Amino acid sequence: MSVVNISCYKFVSLADREVLKADLTARCLALDLKGTILLAPEGINVFLAGSRAAIDAIVTHLRADPRFGDLAPKESLSAEPPFKRMRVRLKKEIITMKHPLIRPEAGRAPSVAAATLKQWLDRGCDDEGRPVVMLDTRNDYEVAAGTFENAVDYDIGIFSEFPPRLAEHLADYAGKTVVSFCTGGIRCEKAAIHMKEIGIERVYQLEGGILKYFEEVGGAHYRGDCFVFDARETLSEDLQPASGRLHR
């Protein structure tokens, strides 16, 4: 498998999105990359596929900008690019929740690393003995492909439905530690920030989402595959297309 696929994001204030769009479009096309980069006032969201050299080159270029210096792409391999073309798009939000935009200057949501989460799930509580609730922030069709054992989900069709559904269940989380999770980290970080803002006391996001969890600890406590928004459709715990082929 010769195609390297990466995904990463960063909540950071961007006031020069038009300039960034022109620069990244030119560089990605020159490197023969395929995929999508989203640019919004609240940050950047990246999904790219290409050769090892091309991926390394674009990551080096992105990290040369101090705002993106700590980007930590999640990687997987495939035989073919799972994207048909290259697009750099300007958006209002890098993930739409239809609530006030993330304020990057206010800091990130608390996070838990994959290895630590596995330890919590192994023993059924966090380091302080509190019950751990896994909260799936993804859409219903993504959850159907696979999720963590006993995870809570709200059967939502789009992410903007998450806040009102959550508001109906705030009492469920009293005295518990809540870990929000999603595919790659972006939705669960935004969800965790929102949950902190509305008063849920102990909230963490799963650092790097399901894909980082698969990469670091495999499929422990997870059942099924992980839906991804490209031609691979779903990835198994070894980060390979679950069906063994791309869907066009």
**Within-domain flag for 181:** yes
Domain end residue (candidates: 90, 115, 141)? 90
Q: For residue 162, report the phi and psi dihedrals to the nearest 5 degrees.
A: -65, -50
The helix-helix angle for 17-30 and 52-63 (nearest 10°) equals 160
User: Per the structure, how many domains does the chain have?
Assistant: 2
Give the integer Cα–Cα distance in Å for 21 and 148.
37
28-75: per-residue pLDDT in tens?
999 999 999 999 999 999 999 999 999 999 999 999 999 999 999 999
Give me the active site residues, please. Answer: 182
**Token pair of 114 as six digits:** 């994959």
For 176, the 3-state DSSP assignment is: coil
pTM for the full predicted model: 0.88
Structural domain boundaries enclosing 139: 104-235
Q: What is the CATH number of the domain that holds 19?
A: 3.30.70.100
Averaged over 215-231, what is the pLDDT?
96
**Within-domain flag for 245:** no
How do beta strands 226-227 and 234-235 pair?
antiparallel
